[in-house]
Each structure stands twice: as C-alpha cells, then as structure tokens.
Amino acid sequence: MPDVRVRPGECHVWTARAVSVSSGLVALLDAAERRVYESFLRERDRSLYLTAHALLRLVLAEALDRDPARLVFAAGPHGKPYVEDASVEFSLTHSGERVAVAVASGAPVGVDVERVPEPAAELPLPVLSPAERVVYDRVPEPERAAAFTAYWVRKEAVLKATGEGLRVDPARLTVSAPDRPAELLGWRGREKAVQPHPPVRLYDLDAGEGYRGAVALLGPAHRIVRHDGGGVLRRPRRAADGDPGASSARC
C-alpha cells in the first residue's frame, strides 16, 4: 500500500461522504459503538455515525499497524478519546453528509467540519467574540451563514485540540476573519492572553461545497496531507488485512 505513515510534522486528514450501511463496516465497531449506532432511528444518522467511526478505526489501524476491530479507546480528563500506547493523536468530526478524521504524530489535534446553514437560519451569534462580531456585522447578508460557519469550525477545532471542547465558552476565543488565513488571535482569560502553550496552529480544510472545515494542532507548524476516505471505506476488509490496494488516495 502507498506509504501513508504519519510522520512528525505531518497531520493526515481523511474526508468522506456518508456511505450506505455495510455489514463489513458494522463488524469493526465495538459493543459500545454498536449500541449507539443501533439507537439511531433514521438511516441517514446511522450511516453518518457508522462512516465516521469505521473510518477512524481503519485509518488508525493503518497508522498503528493494528486490527481495526480490536482498537480500544479511552477517554482523557476532558473526555477527549485516545488509544493507549499509541504513537499518534486523532480527532473525528461529522456533519450533514461529511466526515473527517485527522491523525497527527506527537501533537494534539482537533478537526471540525460543519454544513453551512441556510441563509435564513437563526445563528448562535453569542459564540462570536466582540472583535469577531464587528467583522461579521460588515459581511453582506447572503454571505453571513458561511462566514459564521468559518468562525465556528476554527474555534471548535482549537477546543478539540486542547481537549476542552465546549466546556470553554467559544466567545472567549478570537480567530481571524473568514476571508483571512486561519489563525488564533486571542483567548480571553488565558495567562499571557494570546494563546495557550504550546502554540496553536490553525489550518482551513476544504470540506466540499456547502461545508466549512478547520484543523488545529498544538506545537510547531505541520504539513497537512489530505486523503480520500471513501477509498478506505469501500474496502474495509482489505484495509484491515493490510492489502496493498486498500490505501486512500492523496488529494
């Protein structure tokens, strides 16, 4: 299989659309995941959950040279999942019909993808910081839903990387304007103000038409390597067996 090992200084991101339910993918889930999967009443929700968790298992299995069905997840102090004795860190997100998995070597990582709401949708504007709100209010009305989503995914990616999630009010974070390169500009209430230590690196992620995405890493700058997760999901058994034909395609 083409070399997709996650090296220091790299963050690999797999993106995929939700796939139809497959017994081969369901077999990868552990008992807890199956209970959640079976609790969904709508087929769309089941497919999205299955796609996300099967893809995570498959790409981690490749990175760690393990059986995807035998990976055991644990939760950190703030509930952030990890695999014991693993050399990589990871993050998972899904929204609408899109899934993304980010894997980094030796650096905490957070990824978020969100579908852009309809223009008439009511947006939770209090999550914006005062500086962000000033910029947002200048955005033309038809572009505001996309601008808000860009702000949101950047903040969510940072809070996933730090492991704090929504335990922290997103309004305390200030990120760059949607039309500017992704950057964490401020974090109200943190010591020395600007960012937590180690530094936060933010990157925008092309999540497809109608979506916005971002990746955050703690530490030095990383090279983002994109992959097509659909190829992994179409061949779950071959991927689990380490078949050379089961790799994802780099985008």
Domain containing residue 188: CATH number = 3.90.470.20
Is residue 51 situated within a structural domain?
yes
Place 106 in a pLDDT band, splitting at 50, 70 and 90: confident
- Examine the pLDDT at 223 and tell me if it is beyond 80: yes
Share of the chain above pLDDT 70, in %: 89
What average pLDDT does this structure show over 226-245? 65
Name the pTM for this structure: 0.89
Q: Are 123 and 204 within one domain?
A: yes
The CA dihedral of 225, 229, 235, 236, to the nearest 10 degrees, is 100
Q: How far is CA 246 from each of CA 1, 53, 56, 242, rounded to the nearest angstrom?
A: 7, 17, 15, 7
Is residue 94 situated within a structural domain?
no
Three-state DSSP state, 194: coil
- Examine the pLDDT at 26 and tell me if it is beyond 80: yes
pLDDT for residue 12: 96
Q: Are 5 and 77 within one domain?
A: yes
Task: Look at the chain and report how many structural domains it folds into.
Answer: 2
What average pLDDT does this structure show over 17-24? 84
Is residue 76 situated within a structural domain?
yes
What average pLDDT does this structure show over 213-242? 81
Q: Are 147 and 244 within one domain?
A: no
Crossing angle of helices 130-137 and 144-162, in 10° steps, is: 160
The CA dihedral of 54, 69, 90, 167, to the nearest 10 degrees, is 80
Q: Are 113 and 207 within one domain?
A: yes
**DSSP, res 52:** H
Q: Are 123 and 214 within one domain?
A: yes
Q: Are 15 and 54 within one domain?
A: yes
Q: Rounded to whole angstroms, how far apart are CA atoms 182 and 125?
A: 19
Q: Are 121 and 146 within one domain?
A: yes
Is residue 32 situated within a structural domain?
yes
Q: What is the CATH number of the domain that holds 33?
A: 3.90.470
- Examine the pLDDT at 240 and tell me if it is beyond 50: no
Strands 173-175 and 109-115: unpaired
pLDDT for residue 85: 87
Q: Rounded to whole angstroms, how far apart are CA atoms 180 and 79?
A: 31
Q: Are 79 and 47 within one domain?
A: yes
Q: Are 191 and 241 within one domain?
A: no
pLDDT for residue 250: 26
Share of the chain above pLDDT 90, in %: 73
Q: Are 232 and 213 within one domain?
A: no
* Mean pLDDT (the chain, rounded): 88
Q: Rounded to whole angstroms, how far apart are CA atoms 91 and 79?
A: 12
Structure token pair of residue 80: 């952030």
pLDDT for residue 79: 80
Structure token pair of residue 143: 């572009």
The DSSP bridge partners found for residue 112 are 214
Q: Are 53 and 114 within one domain?
A: no
Nearest to 109 by CA among 178, 47, 56: 56
Which residue range is the domain that position 166 belongs to? 108-221
Q: Rounded to whole angstroms, how far apart are CA atoms 210 and 205?
A: 13
What average pLDDT does this structure show over 185-213? 83
Q: How far is CA 42 from each of CA 34, 47, 49, 175, rounded to the nearest angstrom?
A: 15, 9, 11, 35
- Examine the pLDDT at 48 and tell me if it is beyond 80: yes
Nearest to 213 by CA among 110, 81, 142, 108: 110
Q: Are 115 and 210 within one domain?
A: yes
